[in-house]
Amino acid sequence: MAGVREAGRQLVRGAVAGVLGTVAMDGLWYARHRREGGREPFVAWEVTSQITDWEAAPAPARMGRKLIGVVTGRDVPVERAAAVNNVMHWGYGTSWAAGYALLTAAAGRRRAWWHGPAFGTAVWASDYVTLPLAGVYEPIWRYDVPTLWKDLSAHLVFGTVADGVLRAVGSRT
């Protein structure tokens, strides 16, 4: 029973770390957006309120549509695309960090400084495997280096912050 309780604690710590890591990553994306002339406030930029076309929807929405379709056998109406996008975006980072928290706690040893950036890199790399296979992204070789670097650097922020939060909230360090 104590093992189940500890796993539950690690999952909660990981979820908190995932939320904060996602906020940090999105903060970097938002700063870039503002430098490129974007003017909307952070919350309006961050929270998708309307999507009118699945083909133009962000990757999290399109992946969520595919997952829901596989599980239920039904298509998701485009009117639900914004909600699907928000749930997938936040759920993705949160679930990755929850798994990372479980893994690092199970390892039971002190993490090196580079584990957070390595975690972010692993999340980034997995995106360029799973999303092309799902038809949501192009294969990695079709992207230019600046695009890949922007995406990787954002994921480095995610992994570093998530790892730092886990250390701060008492996950095994």
pLDDT digits (tens, 9 = 90+) for 71-82: 999 999 999 999
Give residue for tokens 């038809």: 135
Per-residue pLDDT at 2: 65
Find the angle CA(7)-CA(13)-CA(18) to the nearest 5 degrees.
120
Q: Is 164 helix (H, G, I), strand (E, B) or coil?
A: helix
Cα–Cα distance for residue pair 94/136, rounded to 1 Å = 20
Is residue 165 exposed (0-12), middle (13-18) or buried (19+ Cβ within 10 Å)?
Answer: buried
Per-residue pLDDT at 173: 44
Q: What is the DSSP letter of 108?
A: -
- pLDDT block averages, 10 residues each, the chain of length 173: 84 97 98 97 96 96 97 97 98 97 88 94 97 96 98 99 93 47
Please choose, from the candidates 173, 22, 34, 6, the residue with its C-alpha nearest in 3D space to the C-alpha of residue 97.
Answer: 22
The pTM of the full predicted model, rounded to 2 decimals, is 0.92
Give residue for tokens 């294969």: 139
Residue 47: which region, alpha, beta or left (left: phi > 0; alpha: psi -120 to 50)? beta
Find the angle CA(169)-CA(47)-CA(89) to the nearest 5 degrees.
60
